[in-house]
Amino acid sequence: MYKEALKPFIKQIVEKELVAASNKNSAFDVVWYIFFSRYIGLGITNFKDLVTNKKVTSNTFVQCIITSQDKLFSDSGVKLYRKPSECKGVSLAHRLDVFKRHDRV
């Protein structure tokens, strides 16, 4: 109930912070805000309009996050992305464990 009511406000804040992160040249902040917005389903899709700093957008990892295309590990067999439907009931730690280290612990 409250979650859906707060989404528009959180979306505005995240969009504002994405622009600020781009302006301050912070690839880390840009990646974090994009990940966060997708993880909680804010529906932001205009990342290219919000992140306009050429230095940040030329970062390969930022490009991967913005386009949801794996450009880093394409030759290794490691999959950087999973469909949300494949992650139902999976903890965030396991969802982010692209190298499957949790099986070895």
Alpha-carbon torsion, ordered 9, 18, 30, 48, to 10 deg: 110
Tell me if 66 sits within 8 A of 51, measured CB to CB: yes
**Position 49: which residue type?**
D
Tens digits of pLDDT across the chain (105 residues): 677 888 999 999 999 999 999 999 999 999 999 988 988 889 999 999 999 999 999 998 898 888 877 666 666 666 666 666 666 665 555 555 555 655 544
Domain ranges of the chain: 1-69, 70-105
State the Cα torsion 12-15-17-23 to the nearest 10°: -140
Q: Rounded to two decimals, what is the model's pTM?
A: 0.69
In this structure, the number of other CB atoms found within 10 A of the CB of residue 47 comes to 21
